[in-house]
Amino acid sequence: MTTKAIWTTRREAMALLSGAVAGVALGGDARAQAAPKRGGILRVSAFTNPSSLDPATGGAGSDHAFLFTMYDTLTEWDFDTLKPRPGLAESWSFTDPTTFVLNIRPGVTFHDGTPLDAEAVKFNFERNKTDPKSNIKADLATMASVAVTGPMQVTLKLNTPDAAMPGILSDRAGMMVSPAAVKASAAGNLTRTPVGAGAYAFVSWADGERIVVKRNEKYWKANRPYPDGIEFAIIPELTTGVRSVTAGQNDLIYQLPPRQKVVVDRSNTLKVVNGPTLYVFQIFLNWAKPPFDDIRIRKAINFGIDREAFVKASLAGLAEPAYMNLPKSHWAYDKSVAGLYSYDPDKARKLLAEAGFKEGTTIEIGSYPDQDSVQRQEILIEQLRKVGIGLRFINAPVAEAAGAFFGAEKRGSGLLAAWTGRPDPSLTYALMFTKDAYFNGGRAPVPPELEAAIKESRASEDIEIRRKAFATVQRLVMDNAFVVPLAFQYELVAMNKKVQGYRPNLLGKPKYDDVWLES
Amino acid sequence: MARRSPAKVIGSRLLQALPVILLATFMVFSLLKLVPGDIAVTLAGDNATDARITEIRRVYGLDRPFLVQYGAWLGNAVQGDLSQSLLSGEKVATSISRAFPNTLLIVAIALLLALATGIPMGIVAAIKPNGWVDKIVSMIASLGVAIPGFWLAMILVAEISLKLNWLPATGAKSFGVSPLEAIRHALLPGIAIAAYGMAEVARQLRGSLLEVLSSQYVRTLHAKGLSMTRILWQHGLKNVSVNLFTIISLLVNRMLAATVVIEAVFAIPGLGSLIVRGAIQRDFPIVQGVVFTMVIVVITVNLIADLLCAAVDPRIEQ
C-alpha cells in the first residue's frame, strides 16, 4: 500500500507542471509520516442522495460512499488489487466446492450493542436472499442454504461451486446489519435507520441535504477511526461541490470528472489524490441485430478507436486505456488480451470491406446529454469517421437511455456508457456476457465456451486457477468483440491539506479507513 | 354595487383553487409517467434483471394502471398525507417542511432587495424622463434583465466567497437555529435572483408613474401649485400601488421558479433542489408534493395581491 501511495504521488508530481503543486505533493509525503491524530469532523461533499441506507434495499453504486462508513463487510478487499482479505469474517474456506465456511470475528458488536455472531450473520444471509425488497438476491443466487455451525461459524451450502463468494461478501451482500434493529423497525428495513458494525454509527439523514455519522467507540479495529465523525453535505452539482471545498466549507470531494482537475490545481489550498479504478467507459453492443451481429464490424470498431488519444482528449489523460474489462493492476488482468486491439485503422477498413459495410453508413448509438458524454461522442465520431463508420448519437438522460437500450425497446445498436465494476470479476462478465443477462442488450446467445469459462472462473477458489479461467473469459469476450472498452477512469479525490491518510482504491468507491485530520 | 366581504373573496378563490391543484398535479403526474425512464429500474439496483424489475414494479405498486396510481396519491394527499419518497423512504412532508424555509428565505431576501433598489430607481427615472438619470436607470435595468441569474451567481461566488471570503459559497443554515448565519448563507443567492427583480420593478414602476404623472389630474394639481414631492408621494405612488402589487405577485412566482437553478449553483437544499432530484430520479411522490406546495404558494400570493389591490382601489372588487 505504501508503494501505491508513493506511486500516486510521483505520478502526480510528473503530471503537474506547476512547481508549487509539486511542493505540496512532497509536503504531503512528509506529513504522511507524522503520527495520526484522533479527533475532528471530516466534512465530505457527496454528489448524490443515497437511494437507501439499508444495504439490502438500496440500488445505486454511489450509496457505498455512505454505506462503507456505517457497515463493515464480512470480507474486505485489498485497496490496490481488490483481492479479498479478512473483515468481519476472520477466515473462510471451502471444505468442498459447494460448502463455504465462514469464521466470524469474536467480540464484535453492532452499534445498538447486540453481538455480531453466527446467528446475526445467518439472519443477514437469509434476509438478503428472501426479503421482497432485497436488491441483492442475485448476488446470493448460488447460496442454497445457510446454517449456524458454531457460535462464531456459519456454513453456506451452494448449489454450484462459487469461488466468487469471498469477493461478493466484500460488497452489499457482506454488509452486516443488526437483526434486532431490522426486527424493531416498522418498515422492516433500515433504509432510514441504519444500524451496522462499521467504524461510524448513524446520527441523522436529511434527504438531499446532509448525512451525519459519529465514531463507533467500540469499533473492532484498533485505534480506528481517527475522526470523531463524518458529515456528508449532499451537493449534486460537482462544480459547486468543488467550490465548497475550495472555500473551506468541506474538506473532501470524491469521484470528480477529470476536467475538474484543472480547476482544483488552480487552487493552492487543495491537493488531489488519484488512482485507477474498475470504472470503465465503454460502448455496449447489441449483437442480436445488424450491424453488430457481424463480428467483423464489431472488430472493426474496436480496431478503429485510438484509445490513447481518446484518453488524452476526453479524460485529460487521467485514465487508463481499456482493452478489456479489467485494468492493469487488477489481480485477474491478462496482459496478452490487451494486445488484441491496438489502434489499426487499416485493419478496421479491411474488416468493414469484407463485411460489405458501405463506407460512411451511419450507426445509431445511445448516450447521455451531459457535457462530458458529448465530448466523448465527438471524439469517437471523428475517430471512426476516418475508418468509414458514421456514428449518430441519440442522447437521453441516464435512466431513459439505459432503459431504451437494455430494456424492451432495444433502441440503437450500441450504448456509449460505463460499467462500474464489481468486487469479483466473474460478476462483471456474467452480467454482460451471458445469454439472458440484463446488460446483454440484445439477449443474444454467446459461444457456449464463453458461458462455460465464466462458470469455470467461479469453480475454484485457487487464485491461480481463477486467474487462468479469467484469462480465457477475457480473451473470448474480446475475440468476439462483444464490447468496445474505451478507458478506465481514475478516482479523482480533492481535499484540503488538513486531510491525511486518504488512499484511493481500485473499486473507486471511497473508503476512509486511515483518514485523519490535522488540527 | 355591494362590497363583497374579504372572507367571501377568499372563500371563492379557494374554491377556484381546487381545480387548479387537481389539474396541475394530474398534468405533472402524467408528464412523469409519459417521459421515458422508470423508477423501477433505479429501485432494482445495478444488477437488475428483467424479472427483478417486473418484481419491483409489483412490490412498489408501479404496475397498477396510471389512473389508479394517481388516485391513490390524491386520496392520501386529500387526507394530508403526501406519502413518501419511493427511494429513500423519507416522508415527503418532512422533506418539504425542511426545504421550504430555505427557499422562502432566499425569495424574501431577493424580493426585499429588488424592491429596495427597484422602487427608488423607478421613481428617479420617472421624475425626469429621458434625462441622464433615466438613461442610467434604463441601462442598469436592461442589464438586470439580460444577465442570467446563474451566471451572476457564479461571478458572485468567485469574487465574494472564494476571493474575499466574506460570505459562504454553498449551503444553507436553518433560520430558526441561527438567523444571522441563515441570512449570510441566503444573501448571495438572494442577490443573484434580485437582479432581475430590481430591473423589472424599476422599469414597470417608471412606466406606470409616467402614465400617472402625465394625466390630466396631475396637471391640475400642478396648476393648483402643489409641489412635485407632494404630487409624487400623495397621488402618484398611491395610484401606481395597484400595479406594484401585481408586479410583486408575479415577481414572487418568478423568483420561486428561479430558485430551481440558483439552488443548484449554491447547493441549497430547498424546494428547487428537491423537485430537480425528484424529477431526475422519477421519484414522483416528491415531485407531486413540491408541485402541490408550489401551486398553493402561487395561489396564496395571488390571493394576497388581489386583496391588497382591492383594498387600495375599490374599483377592482368585482
CA atoms within 13 Å, Cβ hemisphere of A194? 35
| pLDDT at residue A29 greater than cutoff 70 | no
pLDDT in tens, B292-309: 898 888 888 888 888 888
Which pLDDT belongs to residue A33?
58
Mutate to test the interface with A, among B32, B39, B41, B102 (most CBs of A within 10 A): B41
For each of the domains in chain A, give its residue range(s) and CATH number, in order of start: 7-49+207-277+490-517 (3.40.190.10), 68-188 (3.90.76.10), 280-489 (3.10.105.10)
Which pLDDT belongs to residue A267?
83
Q: What does the alpha-carbon distance between residue B98 and residue B76 come to, in Å, rounded to a whole number?
A: 20
In the sheet that holds A89-96, the strands lie side by side as A89-96, A99-104, A153-158, A143-150
Structural contact between residues B275 and B208, judged by C-beta atoms closer than 8 angstroms: no
Which pLDDT belongs to residue A377?
96
pLDDT in tens, A474-483: 999 999 999 9
Report the pLDDT averaged over residues A272-282. 91
The x, y and z cell numbers of residue A453, run together, are 469459462
Cross-chain Cβ contact A438/B48 below 8 Å: yes
Which pLDDT belongs to residue B296?
87
| pLDDT at residue B42 greater than cutoff 80 | no
| pLDDT at residue B55 greater than cutoff 70 | yes
Q: What does the alpha-carbon distance between residue B97 and residue B93 come to, in Å, rounded to a whole number?
A: 6
Which pLDDT belongs to residue A23?
35
| pLDDT at residue A415 greater than cutoff 80 | yes
Which pLDDT belongs to residue A450?
95
pLDDT in tens, B171-227: 888 888 888 989 999 999 999 999 999 999 999 999 988 888 888 888 888 888 888
Whose cell is 440484445? That residue is A442
Interface A-B: count of C-beta contacts within 8 A: 143
Of residues B59 and A501, more confidence is placed in A501
Report the pLDDT averaged over residues B75-91. 87
Instruction: Report which secondary-structure segment, H or E, holds A201.
Output: strand A200-206
% chain A with pLDDT above 70: 94
Question: What interface predicted TM-score (ipTM) does this complex get?
Answer: 0.74
Cis peptide before A225 (omega within 30 of 0): yes
pLDDT in tens, B142-165: 998 898 888 998 899 888 888 888
B50 to chain A: closest CA residue: A438
| pLDDT at residue A5 greater than cutoff 60 | no
| pLDDT at residue A341 greater than cutoff 60 | yes
pLDDT in tens, B252-306: 999 998 999 999 889 899 999 999 888 888 888 999 999 989 888 888 888 888 8
Q: How confident is the model at residue B4 (pLDDT cuts 50, 70, 90)?
A: low
Which pLDDT belongs to residue A9?
37
Of A334-338, A353-357, B56-60, the poorest mean pLDDT is in B56-60
| pLDDT at residue A136 greater than cutoff 70 | yes
Cross-chain Cβ contact A233/B46 below 8 Å: no
Mean predicted lDDT score pLDDT of chain A:
89
Report the pLDDT averaged over residues A486-498. 93
Closest CA to A58 of A205, A203, A199: A205
Q: What does the alpha-carbon distance between residue B139 and residue A226 come to, in Å, rounded to a whole number?
A: 57
Which pLDDT belongs to residue B228?
81
| pLDDT at residue A517 greater than cutoff 90 | yes
Which pLDDT belongs to residue A297?
96
Structural contact between residues A37 and A245, judged by C-beta atoms closer than 8 angstroms: no
CA angle, B63 then B65 then B68, to 5°: 115
CA atoms within 13 Å, Cβ hemisphere of A287? 24
Who contacts A266 (Cβ-Cβ below 8 Å, separation ≥6)? Answer: none
Cis peptide before A291 (omega within 30 of 0): yes
Q: Write the secondary structure of A398-421 as one string of H (helix), E (strand) and C (coil).
A: HHHHHHHHHCCCCCCCEEEEEECC
pLDDT in tens, A34-69: 789 999 999 999 998 888 899 998 878 889 999 999
What is the CB neighbour count within 10 angstroms for residue A331?
18
Spell out the long-range contacts of B235-243 with Cβ–Cβ below 8 A and sequence spacing 24 or more. B236/B209, B236/B212, B237/B123, B237/B209, B238/B312, B239/B208, B239/B212, B240/B205, B240/B208, B240/B209, B240/B212, B241/B312, B242/B309, B242/B312, B242/B313, B242/B316, B243/B204, B243/B205, B243/B208
The x, y and z cell numbers of residue B25, run together, are 398535479
Of residues B139 and B169, more confidence is placed in B139
Which pLDDT belongs to residue B60?
83
Strand A89-96 vs strand A99-104: parallel, antiparallel, or unpaired?
A: antiparallel
Among the partner-chain residues A187, A240, A437, the one whose CB lies closest to the CB of B265 is: A240
Which pLDDT belongs to residue A476?
95
Whose cell is 507542471? That residue is A17
The x, y and z cell numbers of residue A32, run together, are 504522511
Q: Show residues of chain B in contact with A137, CB under 8 Å.
A: 52
Closest CA to B270 of B150, B101, B87: B101
Which pLDDT belongs to residue A31?
47
Cross-chain Cβ contact A244/B38 below 8 Å: no
B174 to chain A: closest CA residue: A209
Report the pLDDT averaged over residues A105-111. 96
| pLDDT at residue A27 greater than cutoff 50 | no
B96 to chain A: closest CA residue: A207
The SS3 call for residue A327 is coil
| pLDDT at residue A381 greater than cutoff 90 | yes
Report the pLDDT averaged over residues B41-50. 72
- State how far Cα A30 lies from the chain centre: 30
